[in-house]
């Protein structure tokens, strides 16, 4: 037996007990006549004491030779500490060691195993197993498992059945690029790894499973933007005999429960907003509504007043920055520089100060009277003390740029509070979006999303205007979940494939099994999928997912710890009937 | 809203309520003046009634035109049934339908959606979504999810953290064949899909996670024997600061809890047996101990009595078949035929009847006296009324053949009762096993298993005799779990790789990260993994796993429903720098 207690367990009530502990040496203080060791395991720290009055000489020597991260086992008596540490759960006691055994020595780790470490990102990834010893990383992984457990508990209690869907499936041309897996037993053929279990969960509904969920790994072979992983985890859900309203209600309860269970925060409101409204008010289909700064469109107020820059543009739009009328010229210039960066790409900003004394002053006073500026203030919701920032240009682009500025200011002004949770349903997404590159319409969600019945008539004439029974759940400016009511009859599905540019033969080859299934009694159904990595990070109050993944890959899709991917043997390639061409 | 209640919910107490139900048409009885429909969903069946007194004419017509598996929605009043059906939870009531809506018509399914279906295996696999509608399949999937939930609850309560390990990892030459995944971003390089998360869970122990588990998909590109799947699910567990005894105790509790929670059966005993003992007593390292028929070795009793057939062989071994002394010549001949089949490959059987009257009679009376046979009876544990069956030949082969016969008889005699659970720990497995094909030793479990300290000295001289700290949990004749105490220091691990024929360079290239990790303070650790598909099947009282998998693959590794694997486009191959050579 390696231990009688963990390192986080002993209290003053245990005084006098003989105990055995095992763990890692966190810290050693050696005063010659006395040696203190902080012993660490997953559960906490316990102080060990050796002193030359009570500890045999050889053990004193052995203790003073211990190094950081040595794995040791000790036996001893729980005694009361002379100077207690109220910040440590075990801080009232220490162990007077009577037996010391080194279970494994340790080299000096390449970075310190402390809450704040000196190791850079690359080093910490290479030695991820050491990084995991650090509380911030360890606690994030424990938090993740707690969230997963709560997800399962809630959904199980609501009658959802967790069903495992296959990982070795078939490549489809729609969506992102698939990872493929050559099949040795079926020469020249490949499996694909799922981007989501979409068709399988729909087939489970056709199969009468009624309520399905799964926490499941999904895969996308995409060029990795920052904070994207080639393998990621989804909470995948589907329900039969439901309308959009049923799904929204169910997953509102779900999200409310999660936030309460893991953060202790009560969220009451789940407001809803159409896609059009979100784009108009926030320039963004996943607005952070923890703070205001809603867009005010100024076309009627700002055009045709002699200011050419505005006159030529499609859209003039502004926001009011609370309390920023006092910004210096330098501070405003910094914002102008910020929006001009290539990542944002705006031409500049027009500003107007709504001073505390009620006067208004702008960078375009030549063209606009104080009356004009007052109208701007009213439109953007600016109050005395606020700064109005205005952009102009092409509609979609300008909204996107102003949205980025709004988020930037939200961060700068501390309006995006990690412990505040503001969910939002965005509904009525467009069914299709035009893709300039391929010169055709793509499904905005996926080809299985149903159009709103009242819009179907527009499919032939104005396909871009057809709205879908699709919804996203947004939390604090991040899309945490998205879903739709699916198509459940063969004809609509065939029509959809047709509009997406599939020939009937292609549609049959790729998705014939699904369209066949719809002929044998498919119920109306719909669902939602949550990005689990992102959800956990946001619940944890962070926006980067990497620390919530035990063994993440870097931006080139590499696992630098195990050094994967790697070359495989010629024999393996031969068995797979493959040749590497470069 | 599609329904106010499910089809399994209504009782006599609901009489008079207006309800709305949705589901599938299970059955229609049309008497002209009256139509009954059984409406089905996941939760049960409810009878609908239409009659020409109370139902409008058009609805009567519509009802009589419904077909099996149509998806319909009805509204109506809950009324008391005239002839109640006590076998049906909703059997006291029926719905007098006032509104009928066909949500989706259905073609005639290719097989009947009944508990006993007329569909063959292939057809049911192609239309798996229809097969899932059948109670036996649906209930198995629900049972699986229930077992998974109990696994997670138990382990979480015991402090295990569920950590997701990566699916895209690195190919290793040890073990079975890997599935590989070409990397587009890292030209000419491949990921591999994990055969188990073995090294990752060990790194989590090095990382201080202390207790880890995961229900996780694993992959093996092997020629598929019956009832093997290329992707399968494991309950993977690992603990730090443990000895074999700690793991055995923990997972004894775990298994006991599971069987109690999902089957309501109390299992008290978890006997232990060494590998050597299991092979000697049952010819098998995963004996079914729900019944006896232990082997009796007869070398000293049966050789040198003039019967040449025995004299020439390494081993003479027998079992006593309870109550089978009354077998006719024909019945015995059938058994002899059975063992001679190529799958078993035995030469034949010698038999001896221990008659009810106490006399003994055998097929080799010419060579053995009744006294001799009495000694056989004593050795095999035969009592009056039993039949002794004896085989002779090469030791290992003969034991395997007799074990197959023992299991066959166990099935024939109904001794392997589905509702009885007899677990068994098999311990002290050999560390290495000789592989005739490659002419070298292989790790019997895997290269990370630790040798018993007292046997290490034999590694150079008699490597085949070294025992490992390895154990299997056997349930009803199936290995449901296996694990070991791992090596946790670099030198022992390097020595192990050396014995397995790795050069130091190969060991470093493949497992350098693990051996590095052992240098930074690795705790003693060990674990176990359960084959989840098999475990669920056995708990469900079945021995075939396929029905417990939602979308299984066939024996060629194909998903015949979606038709995967399949060819991929030339463009995809080009992006991956790959060429198919055949």
**DSSP assigned state of B458:** G
CB–CB of A104 and B489 under 8 A?
Answer: yes
Residues 6+ apart with CB under 8 A from B508: B515
| Facing A551 at nearest CB: one of B104, B200, B561 | B200
* Structure confidence at residue B540 (pLDDT): 93
The per-residue pLDDT for A467 is 97
> Which segments within B85-240 are labelled E, that is strand?
93-104, 161-162, 180-182, 190-192, 211-219, 231-240
What CATH number does residue B398 fall under?
3.30.1360.30
Q: How far is CA A281 from CA A403, A408, A423, in A?
A: 9, 16, 16
Residue B320 pLDDT exceeds 80 = yes
The tens digit of pLDDT for each residue in A317-363 reads: 999 999 999 999 999 999 999 999 999 999 999 999 999 999 999 99
Whether residues B145 and B241 fall in one domain: yes
Q: Which two tokens stand for residue B534?
A: 């098999």
Q: Are residues A200 and A298 in the same domain?
A: no
Q: Which residue of B has its CA nearest to A246?
A: B1
- Note whether A266 and A352 are same-domain residues: no
Residue A577 resides in a domain: no
Contact list in A for residue B566 (CB cut-off 8 A) is: 170-171, 189-190
Q: With contact defined as beta carbons under 8 Å apart, do B100 and B85 qualify?
A: no
Q: Kind and range of the H or E element at B339?
A: helix B329-340
Residue B97's domain is classified under what CATH number? 2.40.50.140
Distance from CA of A129 to the nearest CA of B (A): 4
Establish if A570 belongs to a structural domain.
no
Please compute the mean of the pLDDT values over residues B70-96 and round it to a whole number. Answer: 97
Q: Are residues A444 and A542 in the same domain?
A: yes
In this structure, what token pair is assigned to residue B60? 């009567």
Paired tokens of A126: 């290479």
Q: How far is the C-alpha of B493 from the C-alpha of B505, rounded, in Å? A: 14
| DSSP assignment letter at B405 | H
Which value, to the nearest 10 degrees, does the dihedral of the CA atoms of residues B256, B258, B264, B266 take? 0
Q: pLDDT tens digits, residue range A200-219?
A: 999 999 999 999 999 999 99
State the pLDDT at residue B439. Answer: 84
Count of domains observed in chain A = 3
Question: How much is the pLDDT for B225?
Answer: 73
Q: How far apart are CA A36 and CA A47, in angstroms?
A: 7
Q: For the CA atoms of B378, B380, B382, B388, what is the dihedral angle to 10 degrees? A: -120
Dist CA A470 CA A450 (whole Å): 8
User: What gap in Å lies between CA B51 and CA A240, rounded to an integer?
Assistant: 29
- Contact predicate B63/B50, CB 8 Å: yes
Dump pLDDT digits (tens) for A176-208: 899 999 999 898 999 999 999 999 999 999 999
Q: What share of chain A is helix, strand, coil (3-state, %, to 5)?
A: 30, 25, 45
B274 phi and psi angles, rounded to 5 deg: -75, 160
- Reply yes or no on whether the pLDDT at A224 is more than 80: no
A16 dihedral zone (left: phi>0; alpha: psi -120 to 50; beta): left
Of B177, B208, B563, the CB nearest to A170: B563
Percent of chain B with pLDDT over 90: 90
ipTM, two decimals, is: 0.95
Please give the pLDDT value at position B224: 72
Rounded to whole angstroms, how far apart are CA atoms A109 and A87? 26
Q: Please, which pLDDT band fits residue A174 given cuts at 50, 70 and 90?
A: confident
CATH number of the domain within which A224 lies: 3.30.930.10
**Secondary structure (3-state) at A559:** strand
Helix (H, G, I), strand (E, B) or coil at B445: coil
Query: What integer pLDDT is reported at residue A440 of this predicted model?
Result: 85
Are B249 and B304 in a shared domain? Answer: no
Nearest residue of chain A to residue B190 (CA atoms)? A565
pLDDT tier for residue B206 given thresholds of 50, 70 and 90: very high
Contact A7, A46 (CB under 8 A): yes
Structure tokens at A353: 């100060």
Average pLDDT, chain A: 95
Mean pLDDT of B404-426: 95
pLDDT tens across A35-59, in order? Answer: 999 999 999 999 999 999 999 999 9
- Whether A383 and A465 map to the same domain: the answer is no
The domain of B247 spans 139-174+196-272+424-548
pLDDT band for position A542 (50/70/90)? confident
Residue among B294, B236, B221 nearest B529 (CA): B236
Residue B334 lies in a domain: yes
A183–B565 CB contact, under 8 Å: yes
| Least confident stretch, A390-394, A495-499, B125-129, B484-488 | A495-499
Name every chain B residue with its beta carbon within 8 A of the beta carbon of A167: 167, 193, 217, 219, 231
d(CA A264, CA A150): 13
Interface mutation vs chain A, best among B164, B169, B186, B203, most A CBs within 10 Å: B164
For residue B20, is pLDDT > 90? yes
Residue from A177, A213, A174, A215 nearest A193 by CA: A177
Hey, is B222 helix, strand or coil?
coil
Domain boundary among B77, B104, B131: B104
Query: With 0-12 CB in 10 A as exposed, 13-18 as middle and 19+ as buried, what is A297?
Result: middle
Q: In what order do the strands lie in the sheet with B478-485?
A: B161-162, B211-219, B231-240, B525-531, B478-485, B470-475, B423-427, B272-274
3-state secondary structure B239-290: EECCCHHHHHHHHHHHHHHHHHHHHCCCCCCCCEEEHHHHHHHHCCCCCCCC
pLDDT at position B244: 97
Domain for residue B382, yes or no? yes
Q: How far is the C-alpha of A175 from the C-alpha of A178, rounded, in Å?
A: 9
Q: Chain A residues with CB inside 8 Å of B155's CB? A: none
| Candidates B149, B181, B233; nearest CB to A164 | B233
CB B125 within 8 A of CB B87: no
**Token pair of B521 as six digits:** 């303070």
Give the domain-ending residue among A361, A380, A415. A415
Chain B environment of A173 (Cβ under 8 Å): 569
Together in a domain, B166 and B265: yes
* Pairwise CA distance, residues B100 & B71, whole Å: 11
Could B565 and A22 be called an inter-chain contact, meaning their C-beta atoms sit closer than 8 Å? no
Give the model confidence (pLDDT) of B565-577 as tens digits.
999 999 999 999 9
Q: What are phi and psi of B83, to 5 degrees?
A: -110, 105
Residue B356, C-beta contacts closer than 8 angstroms, at least 6 positions apart: B325, B326, B384, B385
Between A170-174, A336-340, A490-494, B452-456, the lowest mean confidence (pLDDT) is in A170-174
Q: Which residues of A touch B576 (CB under 8 A)?
A: 180
Q: What is the pLDDT of residues B495-550, one digit of tens each?
A: 999 999 899 999 999 999 999 999 999 999 999 999 999 999 999 988 789 999 99
Q: Which residues of A touch B558 (CB under 8 A)?
A: 186
Q: Are residues B442 and B486 in the same domain?
A: yes
Mutate to test the interface with B, among A521, A562, A575, A580 (most CBs of B within 10 A): A521
pLDDT confidence of B250, banded at 50, 70, 90?
very high
Please tell me whether residues A147 and A74 are part of one structural domain.
no
User: Please, what's the largest Cα pairwise distance for chain B?
Assistant: 93
A interface mutation test: which of B157, B247, B450, B520 has the most A CBs within 10 A? B520
Q: Do A42 and B210 touch (CB under 8 A)?
A: yes
| Contact call for residues B481 and B196 (beta carbons, < 8 A) | no
Mark which of B385, B415, B445 sits at the end of a domain: B415
One domain, residues B410 and B530 = no
Q: Do A223 and B557 touch (CB under 8 A)?
A: no
The pLDDT value given to residue A86 = 95
Residue B388 pLDDT more than 90?
yes
User: Does residue A2 belong to any structural domain of this protein?
Assistant: no
- Distance of alpha carbon B425 from its chain centroid, rounded? 17
pLDDT at A173 over 80: no
B426 C-beta neighbours (distance < 10 Å), count: 26
In this structure, is residue B27 part of a structural domain? yes
Cα separation, B151 vs B416, in Å, equals 25
pLDDT at B176 over 90: no
Which residue ranges of A are tagged as binding site for L-aspartate? 174, 220, 445, 486
CA angle B484, B485, B488 (to 5 degrees): 135
3-state SS assignment for residue B400: helix
CA distances from A454 to A450, A464, A487 (A): 11, 14, 15
pLDDT band at A435 (very low <50, low <70, confident <90, very high): confident
Q: Testing the interface with B: which of A68, A181, A206, A453 to mutate, by most B Cβ within 10 A?
A: A181
Predicted confidence band of residue B61 (pLDDT cuts 50, 70, 90): very high
More confident residue, B113 or B187: B113
Query: What kind and span of H or E run contains B362?
Result: strand B360-362
- Shortest alpha-carbon distance between residue A418 and chain B (Å): 24
A237-285 residue pLDDT tens:
999 999 999 999 999 999 999 999 999 999 989 999 999 999 999 999 9
Residues of B in contact with A230 (CB under 8 A): 168
User: A386 with A313, same domain?
Assistant: yes
Percent of chain B with pLDDT over 70: 100
Q: A339 and A458, same structural domain?
A: no
pLDDT at A380: 97
Q: Is residue B564 in a domain?
A: no
| A542 lies in some domain | yes
Rounded to the nearest angstrom, the minimum Cα separation between A83 and chain B is: 28
What are the chain B neighbours of A148 within 8 Å (beta carbons)?
Answer: 162
pLDDT reading at B175 higher than 80: no
């Amino acid at each position: 037996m390696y231990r009688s207690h963990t390192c986080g367990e002993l209290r003053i009530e245990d005084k006098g007990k003989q105990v055995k502990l095992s763990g890692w040496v966190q810290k050693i203080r050696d005063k010659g006549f006395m040696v203190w060791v902080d012993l660490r395991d997953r559960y906490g720290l316990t102080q060990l004491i050796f002193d030359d009055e009570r500890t045999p000489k050889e053990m004193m020597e052995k203790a003073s030779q211990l190094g950081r991260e040595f794995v040791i086992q000790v036996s001893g008596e729980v005694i009361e500490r002379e100077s207690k540490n109220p910040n440590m759960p075990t801080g009232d006691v220490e162990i007077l060691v009577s037996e010391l055994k080194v279970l494994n020595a340790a080299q000096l780790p390449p970075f310190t195993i402390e809450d704040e470490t000196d190791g850079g990102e690359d080093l910490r990834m290479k030695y991820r197993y050491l990084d995991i010893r650090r509380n911030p990383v360890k606690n994030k992984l424990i938090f993740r498992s707690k969230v997963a457990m709560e997800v399962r508990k809630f959904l199980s209690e609501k009658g959802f059945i967790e069903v495992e869907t296959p990982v070795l499936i078939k490549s489809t041309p729609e969506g992102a690029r698939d990872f493929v897996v050559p099949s040795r037993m079926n020469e020249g053929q490949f499996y694909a790894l799922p981007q989501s279990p979409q068709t399988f969960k729909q087939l489970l509904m056709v199969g009468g499973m009624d309520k399905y969920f799964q926490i499941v790994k999904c895969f996308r072979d995409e060029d990795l933007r920052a904070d994207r992983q080639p393998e990621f985890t989804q909470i995948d859900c589907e329900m039969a005999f439901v309308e959009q309203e049923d799904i929204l209600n169910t997953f509102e309860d779900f999200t409310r429960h999660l936030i309460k269970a893991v953060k202790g925060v009560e969220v009451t409101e789940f407001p809803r907003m159409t896609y059009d409204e979100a784009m108009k008010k926030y320039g963004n289909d996943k607005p952070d509504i923890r703070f205001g700064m809603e867009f005010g469109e100024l076309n009627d107020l700002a055009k045709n007043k002699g200011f050419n820059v505005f006159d030529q543009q499609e859209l003039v739009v502004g926001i009011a920055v609370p309390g920023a009328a006092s910004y210096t010229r330098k501070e405003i210039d910094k914002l102008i520089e910020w929006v001009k960066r290539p990542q944002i790409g705006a031409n500049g900003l027009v500003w107007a100060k709504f001073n505390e004394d009620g006067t208004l002053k702008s960078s375009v006073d030549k063209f606009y009277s104080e009356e004009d500026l007052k109208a701007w203030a009213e439109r953007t919701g600016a109050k005395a003390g606020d700064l109005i920032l205005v952009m102009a240009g092409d509609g979609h682009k300008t909204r996107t740029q102003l949205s980025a500025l709004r988020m930037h200011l939200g961060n700068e002004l501390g309006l995006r509070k990690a412990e505040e949770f503001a969910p939002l349903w965005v509904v009525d997404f467009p069914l299709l979006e035009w893709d300039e590159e391929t010169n055709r319409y793509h499904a905005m969600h996926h080809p299985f999303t149903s159009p709103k019945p009242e819009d179907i008539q527009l499919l032939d004439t104005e396909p871009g205007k057809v709205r879908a029974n699709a919804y996203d759940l947004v939390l604090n400016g991040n899309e945490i979940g998205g879903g739709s009511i699916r198509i459940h009859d063969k004809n609509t599905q065939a029509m959809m494939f047709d509009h997406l540019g599939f020939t009937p033969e292609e549609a049959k080859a790729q998705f014939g099994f699904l369209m066949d299934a719809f002929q044998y009694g498919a119920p109306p159904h719909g669902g939602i999928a949550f990005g689990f990595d992102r959800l956990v990070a946001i619940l944890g109050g962070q926006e980067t997912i990497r620390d919530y993944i035990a063994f993440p890959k870097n931006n080139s899709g590499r696992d630098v710890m195990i050094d994967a991917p790697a070359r495989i043997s010629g024999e393996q390639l031969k068995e797979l009937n493959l040749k590497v061409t470069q």
